[in-house]
Amino acid sequence: MNQVQIVKVLGYYIDAGFIERIIAGFRKLLIDVDAICGRRINEEGLYELYLVVRNHPNLYTAVLNLSKTPTIEKVEVLEYPNTPVQVDACESSEKAFIFCVPKPLKIRKFSWGVVHG
Amino acid sequence: MKGSKLAAEALKRAGLNVIFGIPGLSNMPLYDAFVEYVTSGDIRVILMRHEQGAAHAADGYARASGKPAVCTGTSGPGALNLVTGLATAYWDSSPVIAITGQVPRSSMGKLSFQEADIPGVVASITKFVVQVRNAEELPKWIKTATYIATTGRPGPVVIDVPRDLFNEDVDEARINWFNGFQIKGYREFQELVDPIMVKKAVELLVEAEKPLMLVGAGAMWSPAVEEIVTLSEMLRMPIVSTFLGKSAVPNDYPLYLGMMGYYGRAEANKAFMDSDVVLVVGARLSDRTIPNVRDVLDTKKKLILINIDPTDIYKHSSYLPVEAYMVTDVRKGLRMLVDAIRKVGLKKDRSQWLKRVVEYREYYAQFYYRDDGKGLKPWKVLKTIRDALPRDAIVTTGVGSHQMWTGVFWESYLPRTFISSGGMGTMGFGLPAAIGAKVAKPDKVVVDLDGDGSFIMTMNNLGTAVDENIPIIAVVFDNRTLGLVRQVQDMFFNKRIIAVDIGPATDFVKLAEGFGAIGFDAQSYEDLEVALKKAMKENVASVIRVPIARDEKALPTLPPGGSFREMIVYEPGANS
């Protein structure tokens, strides 16, 4: 099993507490977050956040709890055959803000009690 | 229109017409706007003596009525004092709405007077929190809060309002009351009832040798009394409950064995251990109900779950033998099972199983109902109170030994008549929750069954009950100690008693009288009965002190982290 998982959270931003709630979902269950990135993806205020989290026995509970948190639309656990590697793609650029996520092999989706994958 | 008036009008339109709280600098404009609404009788404002009491009172109101209630506090300490009450409501899924004042936007982040980051503080102990940024949005957030608090798994919601928004002028033409109301990123849980699962549940239930139904608070919120009893009778299936599920089924129903769990009745725990199939309805199977999962795994039982919250089912399925489940409201789920079982009929003779649970009940009775004549016994005190109160009386409790005694010995007969802090175990819950319950149900007798340690934590709110003419009765089990902690020190910490005993000086009768309530000192069961009848007749706030021996234990119990196989039913050598 990979040492980390990538969790994608889709939800509606009201204020920056939206990000706090997501982080707290992992913090409350003793799960460490190695990296986080996110952005607004439409004019309706829908955001996507990607978190690289350490594997932990509580991860499933954290994902389930997040998936029923008001303002959060969907939580996806992206699965990879090997642990994705972090690279600094902006190293030689002064302008680019690159936002890319490695293509997962499999996705498990959780949303308000509906589970896919 | 000022933001404060907009908020008051929105509360009225949302049906939130009872406000428990305390005004201060940052929510004062809101209180100012309440003046006209209070004068017209549209809103009732109740001044509590501490904000923790305000949150518990709103919680008591919600649990007694099934409708949300509002609590409020000013910025900083006022709002922070609500925190314990909000966490209590969250753990027990109670729809409380808190409106907290906040410092003006221009003052934020400067360690301003009475500034506290309430959204940051409450985010993890409430279902939802929002800090309003625009006065025009106050109606939207009040409506949103009401919807989120009352749907799905109910829970508390906080609306934090910077003071300057209350003072802001809003163009009435731009106010969008509740039209086109929608909440992005929130929805009620979908019903998920797979016919294959229903069929499997039916097969398990009709084929089981020793089936058992475990009812939780969800069955009380639903409520589903008729369905529970019908299914129990059809399948000849005994019923046990969680602590908060007690009032989901009439406690004098012959097949009801009582509350199971850490401090549960021995016969209920034994029946759970012996059962082969357990139908769990509206219970989240907390560590108080099933302290040790080995008790489920080792006995190879099969679980069938009915729960409105699918994530509970998924969580349990990851470590417990869940054979079938239905994601739906308890009443609906039970009706489906009743209809399906009616078609296939009962296939097993359950007479031996029923005989066995009746034998358990009779056997353990010898340990419960002891009386050496020395002092008042909790079980007999509760029986005396039960006999004196009408069947539909509502009781609340504090937290401690007295709470466990009520769990074991109190009989509740109707949903929403047994209100206690289960998940959070919040001492001080009983009295303010009773105030809220009485406001919600003024025609019902409301009694707070409390302990001395728990009562003293929020008893300042007795002044509210007197001033507001809210005639609740508090019965204080006075053992001059934090009994449940003392019991654990005594039994599991080698009798090293520390920091639990309370001195003799506190006089509960004088305290009651000091607040303008009636105080009684019941030295006998007869005194207690007379005091209760007088308190009900006088119909004013009353406190009845009942002396209990300091070493009176809350039994049955388990060792910390223990199994039902290690249940301690009586204290060897003790008189009771």
User: What is the reported pLDDT for A100?
Assistant: 85
Mutation for A interface: B93, B117, B183, B187, most A CBs within 10 A: B187
- How many pairs of residues across A and B have Cβ atoms under 8 Å apart? 65
B335 is written with which tokens? 């009706």
Closest residue in chain A to residue B308, using alpha carbons only: A113
User: What is the reported pLDDT for A117?
Assistant: 76
User: What is the reported pLDDT for B348?
Assistant: 85
Closest residue in chain A to residue B312, using alpha carbons only: A64
A52-66, A81-95, B96-110: segment of lowest average pLDDT: A81-95
- Cβ–Cβ gap A112/B192 under 8 Å: no
B125 is written with which tokens? 């102990």
B55 within 8 A of B84, measured Cβ to Cβ: yes
Is B119's Cβ below 8 Å from some Cβ in A? Answer: yes
B242 is written with which tokens? 């969680």
Nearest beta carbon to residue B186 from set A15, A64, A70: A70
Q: Tell me the nearest-neighbour CA distance from A82 into chain B, angstroms.
A: 25
User: What is the reported pLDDT for A96?
Assistant: 76
Residue B8's nearest CA partner among B26, B24, B32 is B32
Q: Tell me the nearest-neighbour CA distance from B185 into chain A, angstroms.
A: 4
Our CA dihedral for B144, B149, B155, B157, rounded to 10 degrees, sits at 40
Partners of residue A115 on adjacent β-strands: A110
**H/E stretch holding B79:** helix B77-81
Sketch out chain A's domains with CATH numbers.
4-115 (3.30.70.260)
User: What size, in residues, is chain B?
Assistant: 576
Closest residue in chain B to residue A9, using alpha carbons only: B185
Q: Rounded to whole angstroms, how far apart are CA atoms B275 and B11? A: 49
User: What is the reported pLDDT for B576?
Assistant: 39
Q: Tell me the nearest-neighbour CA distance from B325 into chain A, angstroms.
A: 13
B487 is written with which tokens? 């019991």
Is A113's Cβ below 8 Å from some Cβ in B? Answer: yes
- Cβ–Cβ gap A64/B327 under 8 Å: no
Nearest beta carbon to residue B318 from set A60, A112, A114: A60
User: What is the reported pLDDT for B575?
Assistant: 44
Is A100's Cβ below 8 Å from some Cβ in B? Answer: no
B464 within 8 A of B48, measured Cβ to Cβ: yes
Mean pLDDT in consecutive groups of 10 residues from the start of chain B, 576 residues = 97 97 98 98 98 98 97 98 98 98 97 97 97 95 96 96 97 82 89 96 97 97 95 97 97 98 98 98 95 96 97 93 97 97 89 97 94 94 98 98 98 98 98 98 98 98 98 98 97 96 97 98 98 98 98 95 94 56
Q: Where are the beta strands (DSSP E) in B526-566?
A: 542-547
Residue numbers of B between 126 and 145 with CB closer than 8 Å to A: 127-131, 133
Closest residue in chain B to residue A72, using alpha carbons only: B185
- Cβ–Cβ gap B310/A113 under 8 Å: yes
Is B351's Cβ below 8 Å from some Cβ in A? Answer: no
Q: Which residues of A touch B123 (CB under 8 A)?
A: 17, 20-21, 24
- Cβ–Cβ gap B311/A72 under 8 Å: no
A77 is written with which tokens? 């656990």
Give the pTM: 0.97
- Cβ–Cβ gap B311/A12 under 8 Å: no
Q: Which residues of A touch B133 (CB under 8 A)?
A: 15
Q: Tell me the nearest-neighbour CA distance from B101 into chain A, angstroms.
A: 18
Q: Rounded to whole angstroms, how far apart are CA atoms B128 and B95? A: 11
User: What is the reported pLDDT for B573?
Assistant: 57
User: What size, in residues, is chain A?
Assistant: 117
Q: Rounded to whole angstroms, how far apart are CA atoms B298 and B282? A: 24
Task: Please report the DSSP string for B493-515 in residue order.
Answer: STT---S-B--S---HHHHHHHT
Q: Which amino acid is at B508?
A: F
Q: Rounded to whole angstroms, how far apart are CA atoms B22 and B28? A: 9
- Cβ–Cβ gap A112/B183 under 8 Å: no
Residue numbers of A between 13 and 42 with CB closer than 8 Å to B: 14-15, 17, 20-21, 24, 28
Q: Rounded to whole angstroms, how far apart are CA atoms B448 and B456? A: 13
Is B315's Cβ below 8 Å from some Cβ in A? Answer: yes
Residue B526: other Cβ atoms inside 10 A: 10
Q: Tell me the nearest-neighbour CA distance from B4 into chain A, angstroms.
A: 22
B193 within 8 A of B326, measured Cβ to Cβ: yes
- Cβ–Cβ gap B327/A113 under 8 Å: yes
